C-alpha cells in the first residue's frame, strides 16, 4: 500500500528536497539554532546566578566534551543510515522500529517546544524595544510573535538556500559583536579583579550548584546535532555532514566558553554573581557598554532580537524536515511529505509548522501565560530534557547497531567514545530530571511536563501498532526509482561496505 501510494504520487507531488549546502552553510543553520547571542545574553547570567557562580563558564567546556563523545558515534552512523531523520532514524537502526517511532515523536516535541519558547521571548523582547526604546506603540507580545511567525513561515516555504543566506548574515553579525566585547574585556585586562580563574579551579567549578550549571550549559547546545537533518540538501552528505557536525560543536563550545568567561572576568568572580542576580537581562548589554562603548551596547540589544529570530527560523527548518522525513516513511500522513515543485522545499510541512506555532501562541494567550517567565522557561525545560534523552537513546543505539552489524571495525568510533558518551549523558539526564522542578518553576508543573515527555515517546509504539507500515528506516519507492538505487526493504538499513575512514571521520 505504501509503495503504491508513493509511486502514484511521485510524478505530481515531488517528495525530494534539493540543495548544494556546503559545510559552512549547514554550520550557519545549526549554530543559528543554538542562538549564541541569546545564550550569552540570557542563559549565562542565569547559569551564574542559580548554577555554579563564577565557575559556570567551565560547564560549557564540560558539555562540549560530553557531546564530543556523542558526536563520534553519531557521525559514524551517518554513512550507514542515509535517511535525513537524524535522531529517530538512528534510534530505529539500533534499537528497533518501535523505539525509533518513539524517538521521532519525542524529537518533534523537543524542537517544537524550544521553538515555542523562543517565540515567546522574541515577542516580549521585540515589544519592549519598540515601546520602551523607540517610543512606538505598546502592543501585546503576541502581536510581535505573530509577525515573526509570518516572516519565518514565508522563508521556510521557499528554498533552503534563502534561509541559509539570511541566517548567515544574522549569525555573522551576532557572533561578531560578542567577539568584539570579548576582545574589549581581554584587552582591558578584565574588570576590577582581573581575569577570572574560578573556571580553572576544582573549588570554583564545584561551587554552588554545578549540576544546575551543567543543565543550563547543555541547553545552549540544542540543535548542534541537526546537521544530519539537512543530509538530502548537502553537497556531499558523506563528507559534509561529519565535517559540519564537528565544526558546529567546536564553534559553539569554544564561543560559549570564551564568552561566558569574558562576562565573568568583566565583573569579577564576586561582582559577576551580584550583577547576574540583580540584572540578568541587561548584564551583557552593560558589559558591552562598559568595555566597548554605549553604541556597542545598543548593537548588542538590537542583535539579541535578530539572534532570537535566527533561532526560530532555524528550528522551523529543522521541524519541517523532521515532518517531511516522517511523512515519507509512513509515520505521518504521506501527503505531509510533499516538496514544492519549484522551491524544492518541504512546503506542506512548513505550512503545518506555521499553523502549529499559531495554535500554540493562541493557547498561551488564552491561558494568560507570561511570555518569558512561563512560556520561555517552561518550554525550554521540556526541550532540554527531551534533547538529553534523545542523545542518550541515540548513543545507546549506536553501540547496539555496530555490535550487531559489525559493519565498522573502528573501536574508538563504535565502542569506546559512545560508551563514554552514554555515561556522560546518563549523568546529565539524572541531574536535569532531579532539578526539573526548579527549571520549570515548581514540581506541580514539572510533574505534568515529565508525563508529557514520557507520553510523547509512547505515542511512537502506539502508532507502530496501528500502522504496521510506518517505519523510520523505510525508503520511499520513488527514491529508488529516481536514484536507480536498490529497492527499498522495510526496516532494513541501507549500508555500504566499510572502507578506510576519511580524515573527517576520525575524531
Q: Please tell me what DSSP assigns to residue 234.
A: B
Closest CA to 308 of 381, 208, 376: 376
Q: How far apart are alpha carbons 359 and 144 in whole angstroms?
A: 15
CB neighbours (10 Å) of residue 482?
13
Tell me if 195 is assigned to some domain. Answer: yes
Q: How far apart are alpha carbons 132 and 42 in whole angstroms?
A: 19
Q: Give the domain extent around 232.
A: 21-505
Cell numbers for 452: 508529557
pLDDT digits (tens, 9 = 90+) for 361-413: 999 999 999 888 788 888 888 998 999 999 999 999 999 999 999 998 899 99
CB 116 within 8 A of CB 379: yes
Tell me if 413 is assigned to some domain. Answer: yes
Residue 187: C-alpha distances to residues 138, 285, 379 (Å)? 40, 18, 38
Number of domains in the chain: 1
Closest CA to 20 of 169, 164, 236: 236
Residue 440: C-alpha distances to residues 374, 397, 429 (Å)? 8, 29, 15
DSSP state string for 269-313: HHHHHHHHHH-TTTHHHHHHHHHT-HHHHHHHHHHHHHHHHHHHH
Residues 6+ positions from 13 with CB-CB distance below 8 Å = 335, 338
pLDDT digits (tens, 9 = 90+) for 59-91: 999 999 999 999 999 888 887 876 655 688 889
Q: Give the burial string for 452-475 (b: 16+ CB within 10 Å, else e).
A: ebeebbebbbebbeeeeebbbbbb
Q: Cell match 573502528: residue?
A: 410
Tell me if 13 is assigned to some domain. Answer: no
pLDDT digits (tens, 9 = 90+) for 321-346: 778 878 877 788 877 867 666 656 67
Tell me if 318 is assigned to some domain. Answer: yes
What percentage of the chain carries pLDDT values higher than 70? Answer: 82
The angle, 0 to 180 degrees and rounded to 10, between the axes of the packed helices 97-128 and 294-328 is: 150
State the virtual CA torsion across 320, 321, 323, 329 in degrees, nearest 10: 160
The angle, 0 to 180 degrees and rounded to 10, between the axes of the packed helices 23-34 and 237-267 is: 40
Closest CA to 318 of 167, 214, 217, 455: 167
Task: Give me the CATH number covering residue 385.
Answer: 1.20.1740.10
Tell me if 9 is assigned to some domain. Answer: no
Q: How far apart are alpha carbons 114 and 129 in whole angstroms?
A: 22
- Burial category of 42 from C-beta neighbours within 10 Å (exposed 0-12, middle 13-18, buried 19 and up): buried
**Helices of type H across 96-140:** 97-128
Q: Please tell me what DSSP assigns to residue 233.
A: G
The pLDDT assigned to 20 comes to 61
Q: Please tell me what DSSP assigns to residue 506.
A: -
Q: How far apart are alpha carbons 128 and 121 in whole angstroms?
A: 11
CB 90 within 8 A of CB 81: yes
The pLDDT assigned to 148 comes to 93
Q: How far apart are alpha carbons 91 and 242 in whole angstroms?
A: 18
The pLDDT assigned to 475 comes to 45
Q: How far apart are alpha carbons 80 and 83 in whole angstroms?
A: 9
The pLDDT assigned to 14 comes to 44
Residue 454: C-alpha distances to residues 97, 109, 285, 440 (Å)? 17, 11, 39, 16
- pLDDT digit string (tens) for the chain, length 507 residues: 333 333 334 334 444 455 566 777 777 767 766 778 888 887 898 889 888 899 999 999 999 999 999 999 988 888 787 665 568 888 988 999 899 899 989 989 998 998 998 899 889 888 888 887 788 888 999 999 999 999 988 887 665 555 567 767 777 888 889 999 999 999 999 998 899 999 989 988 988 888 888 888 988 888 777 676 666 666 776 778 888 888 888 888 999 999 999 999 999 999 999 998 888 878 898 999 999 999 998 899 888 888 888 888 878 887 887 788 788 777 888 778 676 666 566 778 888 889 999 999 999 999 999 888 788 888 888 998 999 999 999 999 999 999 999 998 899 999 999 999 999 999 999 888 888 887 677 788 888 899 999 999 999 999 989 888 887 776 433 333 334 434 433 333 433 333 333 333 333
Intra-chain end-to-end CA distance of the chain, in Å: 43
Q: Please tell me what DSSP assigns to residue 191.
A: B
Closest CA to 221 of 396, 390, 445: 390
Rg, C-alpha atoms of the chain: 22
Amino acid at each position: 500500500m505504501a509503495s503504491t501510494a508513493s509511486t502514484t504520487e511521485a510524478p505530481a507531488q515531488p517528495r525530494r528536497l534539493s540543495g548544494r549546502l556546503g559545510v559552512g552553510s549547514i554550520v550557519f543553520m545549526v549554530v543559528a539554532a543554538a542562538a549564541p547571542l541569546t545564550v550569552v545574553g540570557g542563559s549565562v547570567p542565569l547559569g551564574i546566578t542559580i548554577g555554579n557562580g563564577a565557575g559556570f563558564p567551565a560547564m560549557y567546556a564540560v558539555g562540549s566534551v560530553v557531546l564530543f563523545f556523542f558526536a563520534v558515534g553519531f557521525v559514524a552512523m551517518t554513512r550507514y543510515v542515509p535517511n535525513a531523520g537524524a535522531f529517530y532514524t538512528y534510534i530505529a537502526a539500533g534499537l528497533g522500529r518501535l523505539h525509533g517511532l518513539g524517538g521521532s515523536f519525542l524529537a518533534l516535541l523537543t524542537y517544537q517546544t524550544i521553538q515555542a519558547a523562543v517565540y515567546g521571548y522574541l515577542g516580549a523582547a521585540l515589544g519592549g524595544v519598540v515601546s520602551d526604546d523607540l517610543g512606538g506603540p505598546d502592543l501585546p507580545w503576541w502581536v510581535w510573535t505573530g509577525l515573526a511567525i509570518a516572516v519565518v513561515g514565508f522563508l521556510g516555504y521557499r528554498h533552503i538556500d534563502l534561509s541559509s543566506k539570511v541566517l548567515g548574515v544574522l549569525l555573522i553579525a551576532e557572533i561578531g559583536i560578542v567577539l568584539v566585547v570579548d576582545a574589549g574585556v581581554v584587552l582591558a585586562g578584565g574588570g576590577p579583579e582581573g581575569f577570572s580563574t574560578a573556571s580553572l579551579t576544582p573549588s570554583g567549578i564545584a561551587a554552588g550548584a554545578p549540576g544546575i550549571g551543567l543543565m543550563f550549559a547543555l541547553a545552549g547546545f540544542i540543535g548542534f546535532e541537526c546537521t544530519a537533518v539537512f543530509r538530502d540538501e548537502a553537497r556531499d552528505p558523506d563528507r559534509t555532514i561529519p565535517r559540519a557536525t564537528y565544526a558546529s560543536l567546536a564553534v559553539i563550545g569554544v564561543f560559549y566558553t570564551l564568552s561566558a568567561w569574558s562576562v565573568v572576568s568583566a565583573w569579577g568572580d564576586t561582582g559577576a554573581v551580584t550583577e547576574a542576580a540583580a540584572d540578568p537581562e541587561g548584564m551583557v548589554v552593560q558589559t558591552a557598554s562598559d568595555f566597548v562603548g554605549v553604541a556597542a551596547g545598543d548593537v548588542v540589544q538590537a542583535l539579541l532580537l535578530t539572534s532570537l529570530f535566527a533561532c526560530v527560523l532555524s528550528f522551523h527548518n529543522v521541524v519541517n524536515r523532521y515532518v517531511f522525513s516522517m511523512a515519507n516513511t509512513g509515520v505521518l500522513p504521506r501527503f505531509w511529505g510533499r516538496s514544492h515543485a519549484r522551491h524544492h522545499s518541504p512546503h506542506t510541512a512548513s505550512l503545518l509548522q506555521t499553523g502549529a506555532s499559531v495554535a500554540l501562541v493562541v493557547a498561551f494567550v488564552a491561558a494568560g501565560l507570561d511570555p518569558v517567565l512561563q512560556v520561555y522557561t517552561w518550554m525550554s525545560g521540556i526541550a532540554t530534557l527531551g534533547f538529553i534523552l534523545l542523545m542518550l537513546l541515540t548513543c545507546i543505539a549506536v553501540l547496539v547497531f555496530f555490535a550487531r552489524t559489525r559493519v565498522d571495525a573502528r573501536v574508538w568510533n563504535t565502542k569506546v567514545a559512545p560508551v563514554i558518551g552514554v555515561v556522560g549523558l546518563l549523568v546529565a539526564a539524572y541531574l536535569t530530571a532531579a532539578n526539573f522542578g526548579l527549571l520549570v518553576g515548581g514540581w506541580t508543573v514539572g510533574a505534568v511536563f515529565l508525563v508529557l515527555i514520557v507520553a510523547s515517546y509512547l505515542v511512537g509504539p502506539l502508532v507502530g501498532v496501528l500502522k504496521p507500515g510506518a517505519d523510520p528506516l523505510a525508503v520511499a519507492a520513488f527514491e529508488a526509482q529516481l536514484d536507480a538505487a536498490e529497492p527499498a526493504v522495510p526496516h532494513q538499513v541501507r549500508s555500504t561496505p566499510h572502507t578506510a575512514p576519511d580524515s573527517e571521520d576520525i575524531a
